């Protein structure tokens, strides 16, 4: 398991919260748009795989990283018009954190291409990742990052309507898929819609990379309403917290597992 992982994804409270939100939406019979800002890479796929209602889209992750990548590329190319730099990238929460905190990818080759004025650029991936390293916020300022990502997505929708041109954003858990993807918002057959951008990389290429990324975050798979932890994460939990995680968490056991994690791991390690 990658050293960037901090057992963060064990917190089933994230899943419990959005499970309850979506259950409430169903009961209220509302058409409200729901934005998930907490580990969308796994939360949304888990809800979808259980056949339940799930948030319309996720927020954060690559939407925070891509702007830094554009600035870094502009610096590497010696140009000032960073807005003419385009990045096509697919990766999950783990690699957003890993690249942002450590400037490296744990030796996982990710789907990444860089363009300047629509011409592909041969950029050192290692140098690019290193240039994107920052001090990651760990307090409430993280909410500002999510707010900026929400703004980016909403602005893209408005711009697509105004201009009639497709806009690209980067969304975790897009359409219930594991990991993060480039997503285009625009018109098809006269209707405003959104779809995963496969103009550069196929869905299979991006899905494979996202699953490899998610594995390093401690999740082996999400299927049939079940979240399956990696053996490495289970061993790490025993070593760090003297608590053994269940190998599999079924959708119906989310609340029970969340309470187990709170009682056995979270509270004992946060009490003064």
Where in the chain are the domains?
A: 1-272
Q: Does pLDDT of 272 surpass 60?
A: no
Q: Does pLDDT of 10 surpass 60?
A: no
- The whole-angstrom separation of Cα 44 and Cα 31 is 17
Judge contact between 238 and 244, C-beta under 8 A. Answer: yes
- Predicted structure pTM score: 0.89
Cβ neighbours around 239 below 10 Å, total: 8
pLDDT score for 133: 95
Average pLDDT, stretch 120-148? 86
Please report which confidence band the pLDDT of residue 4 belongs to, taking 50, 70 and 90 as the band edges: low
pLDDT score for 197: 98
40 or 271: whose pLDDT is higher?
40
pLDDT score for 262: 86
Residue pLDDT, tens place only, 68-82: 999 999 999 999 999
Judge contact between 108 and 209, C-beta under 8 A. Answer: yes
* Alpha helical stretches, state H, the chain: 13-28, 40-49, 62-77, 93-102, 125-131, 142-163, 203-216, 231-241, 254-261
Please report which confidence band the pLDDT of residue 265 belongs to, taking 50, 70 and 90 as the band edges: confident
pLDDT above 70 covers what percent of the chain?
A: 94
Residue pLDDT, tens place only, 210-255: 999 999 999 999 999 999 999 999 999 999 999 999 999 999 998 8
Q: Does pLDDT of 7 surpass 60?
A: no
């Amino acid at each position: 398991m990658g050293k960037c992982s901090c057992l963060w994804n064990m917190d089933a409270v994230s899943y419990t919260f959005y499970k309850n939100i979506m259950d409430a939406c169903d009961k209220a019979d509302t058409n409200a748009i729901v934005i998930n800002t907490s580990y969308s890479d796994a939360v949304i796929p888990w809800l979808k795989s259980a056949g339940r209602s799930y948030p319309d889209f996720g927020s954060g992750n690559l939407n925070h990283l891509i702007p830094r990548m554009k600035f870094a590329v502009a610096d590497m190319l010696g140009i000032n018009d960073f807005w003419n730099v385009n990045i096509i990238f697919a990766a999950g929460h783990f690699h957003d954190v890993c690249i942002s905190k450590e400037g490296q990818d744990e030796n996982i080759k990710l789907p990444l291409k860089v363009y300047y004025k629509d011409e592909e650029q041969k950029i050192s991936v290692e140098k690019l990742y290193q240039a994107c390293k920052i001090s990651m916020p760990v307090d409430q300022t993280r909410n500002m990052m999510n707010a900026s990502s929400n703004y980016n997505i909403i602005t893209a929708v408005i711009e697509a309507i105004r201009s009639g041109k497709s806009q690209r954003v980067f969304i975790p858990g897009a359409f219930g898929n594991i990991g993060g993807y480039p997503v285009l918002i625009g018109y098809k057959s006269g209707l405003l819609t959104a779809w995963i951008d496969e103009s550069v990389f196929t869905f299979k290429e991006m899905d494979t990379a996202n699953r490899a990324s998610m594995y390093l975050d401690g999740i082996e798979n999400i299927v049939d309403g079940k979240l399956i932890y990696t053996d490495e994460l289970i061993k790490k939990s025993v070593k760090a917290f003297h608590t053994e995680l269940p190998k599999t968490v079924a959708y119906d056991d989310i609340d029970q597992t969340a309470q187990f994690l709170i009682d056995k791991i979270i509270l004992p390690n946060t009490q003064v």
